[in-house]
Structure 1
Amino acid sequence: MYKVKNWKIAPITITFAHNFSNDFCGHARSLDALGPLVNQNEMLNDGFTDLGLKTVKALLDNKNGKVIYPDLKHMCLQSRREYYHYLDTNFKGKNIPIIVSHGAVTGTSWNNPESISDESIFCNTEINFYNEELIAISKSNGLFAIQLDGRRLAKKSVLKKLNSKKNKAFASAEIIWKHLEHIAILLDKNDLNSWNSTCIGSDFDGTINPLPGIYNASDLPLLANNLLELSTHFLSHYDFKNDFNKLTSPETIVNQFCYDNLHHFYLNKF
């Protein structure tokens, strides 16, 4: 690891868990569609091992090479909560950004996950992220990259209706916007910037079910245009608590999500 940390161009982030046991920490269930073809049970929903904690310590150590920030996607909730506690205990005030490379929201608290309303579109499963985590990411000056996998972004009942929509690309953009809207309202209520912690984490290089009309990078300009229309409508109807959120223009919101937030984060880390 220390050899990697001392590369001329070392990675800034690294995904700490994936679909199966890695002896570091527990992972969330992610391959439901494959049924009995795969077995994810080993270390499923477990916390950190001693080896995992030693590895995190080495990644975040700035004395023997560049810091590499763990990406929390695919970690189970137990491991994620242990990671947040580890940061609070060992790195309080050290400004360690919390990173999610391709995630979606549950729309609810980890203390009461079943409280999500029937009207909510969100996919309330543990691989997605809870309100407390979105707040922690913002406070850490981290990044929450929203993935473009329909299976993670919305409930099955919502996805089934998409193909019947006349403008499928706009209907798909509405699902992504609902994530941005939820995050914006949540962060504003907690006196945080609503718009500077989100970006695109498409997962186009993974095995995903893309939303209709958003199949690859060539569709992202259309997504941006649709988000601009949706953000304009939202800002004309919602009254933010904080002026620094209220006075943000639709153009700034879309530019930050599609480009600026990610660019500024990595520009500051190199």
Structure 2
Amino acid sequence: MNRFFDFHLHPSFKPFLSNPDPDRRVDCWEYLESPIGMIRSQSCLDQMEKGQIGVAVSVIYAMERPMTSSFLIEHLAPMLTVLHGEMLDHPCYSNYLGYAHEEIEHLKKSQNFNGRKFNILNSIEEAEEDKMNLILALEGGHVLEQFNTNVVDNLRALKQGPHRFLYLTFVHMTQYPLSTHAYGMKLIKGNDQFKPNGFGITDVGKEVIDMAYDESQGHRILIDIKHMSVVSRHKFYQYRKEKGYDKIPIVGTHMGFTGISKDPRELVKHFSKPAKRRGDFIEVNYDRPKGIGKGLLNKTFFNPWSINLFDEDITEILDSGGLIGLSLDQRIMGSQEVQGEFFSAQEFNYILSGYKDKANEVPVAEGEFSDEGERGRELNERKHLRHLCNNILHAVKVGGERAWKQLCMGSDFDGLIDPLNNCTSAEEYPKLERGLIEELPKMMKEDRKHDYDETNIEGKVRGIMYNNAIDFLKKHFK
């Protein structure tokens, strides 16, 4: 029986939000039904068990206050779902770390629920073949914040505590003083806290990187570059080289690809209209870069939002010996039309300068932001599968054959995503593997611009679904 791996999912996130009373919360095995698709369970422990998950990274995430203040989350979700209004309305600005500890404890409560067991690992060597094995990670640097404490000291305490964390996703969806984040919130366009502000990585951010990597202070924690702005990623690579960190693997745990270079001359080719400025933010609208395939049912696209990896990012991760997790979010994979994204004005000027550290201000006209409405969802399962295949094959084109060994699944299930229709939950991983084995060779033949190695497709896909990640963990989670 094949087993499966996931680099980034949230089995405890929604159950934790079900009640402020720890004794009344839904256990992590229970499937949560909801008419709101992104709130319906995608990776409860029961779904993971049925999907033959052998090892997965269970990500601990304290929801940022601007997220909970959206109408959908704060008002509509409690009426239609198991999510509790008090948990969504809690003023947790200064106590995110406390919430993270509570979520871990709630996950642990499910470890022997009605005789159903799973492991929480401090080393891959503790994994058992006949059980589900979870590894902990943290999403968003804000999770290190607790009242008037120092975030670097808090990270040190976590490294020296009873639980081991594989990685820290450095930033998330809102402004936080570690680095500038990439815009990623299509649902709440008007809230400025979701729009990137600032420039690159701050001094505090560098201290957090140093502490995460410092093995004298406890087990190393890898840095996940998902949600970092393109300039923050650029500065992160520079800082790693300056500090001699370039042999430590970089991870991007729930990614898609833009399909293009970050070179400003390439970027502007995909602008659908001139960039517009108001205050500290720049809005950019795109035409999606085309992927493999032609015709209504076969064509694919990339999502060029800078939350996704540019070609240079792919190379940086592969060169570091890192691992890229493939998101199963429709939007990230490029199967949905894209709205405009926002950049920090300071970072946008830096990008247009060609990433030159001493650059003159590039004028971007003041103007009203456009208000592009939501487009219809693409419902065809095969089309969504082809978009995933398109991203996989792009990594191979950019990174060469080594990319087959450095890709894995990083679904972001239960992270408030709209999943690909061909794999809507962790339960469907066996079906996804069969689909990839069938579709990848067809798309290799369609793509006449690249000469792929079409041998051993089953082995390549098995690597993406499980083996690549286990090999990585044997080196970096010993």
Say whether the fold is shared (TM-score over 0.5).
yes
SS of 2:405 mapped into structure 1: coil
The 1:226/1:241 distance shift into structure 2, 3 A limit, reads closer
Deviations 1:107-131 (A, max 9, x none): 0000122345753400101111100
Go from structure 1 to structure 2 and tell me whether the alpha carbon gap of 1:180 and 1:34 turns closer, same or farther (over 3 Å shift): same
The corresponding residue for 1:181 is: 393
Cα distance in 2 for residues equivalent to 1:204 and 1:40? 21
Aligned residues: 259
2:471 alignment partner, one of 247, 251, 264: 264
Structure-2 residue corresponding to 1:20 = 174
Decide whether the 8 Å contact of 2:335 with 2:378 is kept in 1.
no
CA distance in 1: counterparts of 2:407 and 2:198, whole angstroms? 26
The one-letter code sitting in structure 1 at the alignment partner of 2:461 is V
The structure richer in helix per residue is: 1
Secondary structure of 1:162's aligned partner = coil
Match of 2:222 among 69, 74, 87: 69
Report the CA distance shift for 1:237/1:20 in structure 2 as closer, same or farther (over 3 A): closer
Over the residues paired in the alignment, what is the CA RMSD in angstroms?
2.5
List aligned pairs for 1:215-254, cutoff 5 A: 215-234=424-443, 246=453, 248-254=455-461
Q: 1:138 aligns with which of 318, 327, 343?
A: 318
Change (3 A) 1:176 1:45: farther
Given the alignment of the two structures, is residue 36 of structure 1 paired with residue 252 of structure 2, yes or no?
Answer: no
Q: Give the Cα separation in 1 of the matches to 2:159 and 2:209.
A: 13
Asked which structure has the greater CA Rg, the reply is 2
SS of residue in 2 equivalent to 1:67: coil
Shift of 1:32: 2.4
Separation in structure 1 between the aligned mates of residue 179 and residue 450 of structure 2, nearest angstrom: 39
**Amino acid corresponding to residue 162 of structure 1 in structure 2:** E
Q: 1:98 maps to what in 2?
A: 250
Give the match for residue 102 of structure 2: none
- Given the alignment of the two structures, is residue 162 of structure 1 paired with residue 315 of structure 2, yes or no? no
Taking only the aligned residue pairs, the percentage that are identical comes to 24
Larger RCO of the pair (alpha carbons < 8 Å, separation 6+)? 2
Residue identity matched to 1:252 = G
Partner of 2:268: 114
- Tell me the distance in 2 between the aligned counterparts of 1:63 and 1:55: 14
Report if the CA contact (8 A) 1:98-1:140 is conserved: yes
Asked if structure 1 preserves the Cα contact closer than 8 Å seen for 2:302 and 2:335, the reply is yes
Shift in Å at residue 221 of structure 1?
1.2
Tell me if 1:214 matches 2:423: yes
The Cα shift of 1:3 comes to 2.2
Letter in 2 for 1:40: F
Helix, strand or coil for the counterpart of 1:59? helix
SS at match of 1:170: helix
- Say which SS state the counterpart of residue 36 (structure 1) adopts: coil
**Residue ranges of structure 1 left out of the alignment (5+ in a row):** none
TM-score (norm 1): 0.86
2:259 match: secondary structure:
coil
- The one-letter code of the counterpart of 1:70 is I
State the partner residue of 2:303: 123
Amino acid paired to 1:154: G
Distance 1:26 1:109 in 2: 20
What is the CA–CA distance in structure 2 between the aligned matches of 1:109 and 1:176, rounded to whole Å?
19
CA distance in 2, matches of 1:147, 1:21: 23
Partners in 2 of 1:232 and 1:247 — Cα distance? 7
Deviation of the 1:232 alpha carbon: 2.8
Match among 144, 155, 164 for residue 10 of structure 1: 164
**Residue 217 of structure 2: SS of its match in structure 1?**
coil
Q: Is the 8 A contact 2:289 2:303 kept in 1?
A: no
Distance in 2, Cα, partners of 1:219 & 1:78? 36
Q: Following TM superposition, by how much is the alpha carbon of 1:171 offset from its aligned partner in structure 2, in angstroms? A: 2.3
Q: Identify, as 1 or 2, the structure richer in strand.
A: 2
Any idea what SS the aligned residue of 2:313 has? Answer: helix
Amino acid at match of 1:170: R
**Where does residue 48 of structure 1 map in the other structure?**
201
Q: What's the TM-score once normalised by structure 2's chain length?
A: 0.50
